[in-house]
Amino acid sequence: MRDADGVATLAAAGPDPGGSRQTIDFLGIRVDVLDTDGLRERVLALARQQGPHRVMYVNADCMLIAGKNAAYREALNRADLVYADGIGVVLGARLWGHRLPGRSTGADFMPGFCRDFAGHGIRLFLLGARQGVAAAAARRLCEQAPGLQVVGTHHGYFRPEESGRIIGQINRARPHVLLVGMGAPCQELWIDGHSQELRVPVLWGVGGLFDFLSGRTRRGPQWLLDHGFEWLCRLLVEPRRLWRRYLIGNVRFVFHVLWRRYAAGDRDRE
Ligand code: UDP
């Protein structure tokens, strides 16, 4: 079903999920309190409504970037849903007395979500990563979720002036969910800057997801991933690109969280 503006909408619109958000404020970022099942329910509900709805994630690296980049911070706080995809955010939030149910990592949940998308007739468009990677990820998802409709893919290395042409291509393909995998903060800023031109119910930043789904980047043993060491696996697989992010970034994040907690505690005592 499509409305007058040509926005793809599904028949049964659920209750407004934006109205029932349960969130915490973690270092100035509004983060939703929900587990992976809750995330799936919310995304399914948002995909049934007229958009644009912005779905974004945060991890320790994102929090550090958000501390310095006001446009990114505002884009996160304008989103309709922000979930924790890193264990650092879950543990850091605990220091402030907030309980997040856990982290939700796209490479783990996306094949399952896509089986639901297939069942509900929700169409996807994949934008991001190097030439051919999004298409390879789409093929893999369609194998894992029979019946899934991926209505288009495009790589993520384009100039700002090419955005209009790509947005036209996306709108003509009429997806319900646009996955944007161009890394933080680039993807969030692109989503935020173009959300009014995109006639898509859900605009979702997914980072390096297509690299993992396509098999271009290995992820590491499941038991390490399950115990909060995804960052270590990523560091071992791509040390030259990621050593600064994880070795320096993780230490900076711990100090940042402890310092902000200490400073807030001091203010409380005054
Ligand atoms: N990427 C892109 N366009 C760019 C820069 C990066 O599409 O201009 C892609 C890159 O190929 C990779 C993803 O964005 O697939 C970034 O992955 P990363 O794991 O760094 O994401 P993050 O951890 O920042 O969410």
- Cβ neighbours, 10 Å, residue 186: 15
- Please name the helix (run of DSSP H) or strand (run of DSSP E) that holds residue 256, with its range, or none: helix 249-269
Which pLDDT value is given to residue 267? Answer: 65
Task: Identify the bridge partners of residue 179 per DSSP, sorted by sequence position.
Answer: 126, 204
Which pLDDT value is given to residue 211? Answer: 96
Q: How many CA atoms lie within 13 A of 200 on its CB side?
A: 32
User: What does the alpha-carbon distance between residue 179 and residue 169 come to, in Å, rounded to a whole number?
Assistant: 14
Residue nearest to atom 25 of ligand 1 (CA): 207
User: What does the alpha-carbon distance between residue 201 and residue 51 come to, in Å, rounded to a whole number?
Assistant: 4
User: What does the alpha-carbon distance between residue 137 and residue 140 come to, in Å, rounded to a whole number?
Assistant: 5
Regarding pTM above 0.85, the answer is yes
Which pLDDT value is given to residue 268? Answer: 61
Which pLDDT value is given to residue 110? Answer: 97
User: What does the alpha-carbon distance between residue 172 and residue 179 come to, in Å, rounded to a whole number?
Assistant: 16
Whether residue 80 contacts residue 54, with contact meaning beta carbons closer than 8 Å, is answered with yes
**Ligand 1 neighbourhood includes 207 CB (under 6 angstroms):** yes
User: For a substitution probing ligand 1, which of 61, 179, 182 has the most ligand atoms within 8 Å of its CB?
Assistant: 182
**Region of residue 59 (phi > 0: left; psi between -120 and 50: alpha; otherwise: beta):** beta
Domain 30-213 in this protein, CATH class: alpha beta
Tens of each residue's pLDDT in the chain, 270 residues: 434 333 444 433 334 444 579 999 999 999 999 999 999 999 999 999 998 999 999 999 999 999 999 999 999 999 999 999 988 999 999 988 899 999 999 999 999 999 999 999 999 999 999 999 999 999 999 999 999 999 999 999 999 999 999 999 999 999 999 999 999 999 999 999 999 999 999 999 999 999 999 999 888 888 888 887 888 888 888 888 888 888 888 888 888 888 888 888 766 656
Which pLDDT value is given to residue 82? Answer: 98
Atom of ligand 1 at shortest range from CA of 209:
15
Dist. CA 11 → ligand 1 center (Å): 34
- Residue corresponding to tokens 């690109």: 241
Which pLDDT value is given to residue 17? Answer: 46
